[in-house]
Amino acid sequence: MVLLDQKINTLQYIINNITEDLGFFGSIVSSEEGLIILTSNQVDPKIEMESLAAKAASLFNDYKEFSENPEDITITYTDKKIFIQKISLLDNSDNCILLITIMPQNIRYFRRKVNKLAKYVSNAPILP
């Protein structure tokens, strides 16, 4: 149990640091069903994280009816941008999680930054 707590704390530390260093408003890691696994500490309190995670999962589940599923979805508002990325876990390509990143609306080149965060999340040995 102590080792699992250390791994969770390490992943939480990494998510917090990368989210802050990259200038994002917050990050959420959720299951494909929209259940929150982990969030960064600096998520805007006005954002309902549970609702956002559930809606993100719903967006991806709605696309299952089509022949091609998107790997990511970007939603742009006047004051922020939400980037939702489906990440395959290394142990089994059938298992995926969602990385939801909230950032300022004016960030143009963000995919490389998000991929840096996604790399750490997908390699985490504690995720289902």
The DSSP element (H or E) to which 111 belongs, if any, is helix 111-122
Q: What is the mean pLDDT of residues 62-86?
A: 81
Q: Is the pLDDT of residue 92 over 60?
A: no
* Angstrom distance (rounded) from CA 87 to CA 114: 11
21 vs 84: which has the higher pLDDT = 84
The pLDDT of residue 95: 75
DSSP per residue over 31-81, as a string?
A: ETTS-EEEE-TT--TTS-HHHHHHHHHHHHHHGGGSSS--SEEEEE-SSEE
More confident position, 89 or 10: 10
Structural domain spans, the chain: 2-122
pLDDT of 17 above 80: yes
Mean pLDDT of the region 68-85: 86
Between CA 27 and CA 98 the distance in angstroms is 10
Does position 50 have pLDDT exceeding 90, yes or no? yes
Quote the CATH superfamily of domain 2-122.
Answer: Dynein light chain 2a, cytoplasmic (3.30.450.30)
